[in-house]
Amino acid sequence: MGCNVVCPVLPFNYKKADWGLDDPTGKPDEEFIKVIEEIERKVLDLLEEVKEWGN
């Protein structure tokens, strides 16, 4: 007897975003650092955007 697992669909108030990040796999450490810094910028921007939505 099998078991089907279904992912729930949850409503959200925030837009979904595809950040289009480059995959640094196999590249020098400098490329990883660039991606990490880009993620940090995008997260900080998202936090500011979410704060604005709350007002």
**pLDDT tens digits, residue range 7-55?**
777 666 666 778 899 999 999 999 999 999 999 999 999 889 888 877 6
What's the pLDDT at 54? 73
What's the pLDDT at 41? 95
**Cα(2)–Cα(4) distance, integer angstroms:** 7
Residue 6 has pLDDT above 90, yes or no: no
0.85 exceeded by pTM: no
What's the pLDDT at 1? 58
What's the pLDDT at 12? 66
Q: Would residue 22 be called left, alpha or beta, if left means φ above 0 and alpha means ψ between -120 and 50 degrees?
A: beta
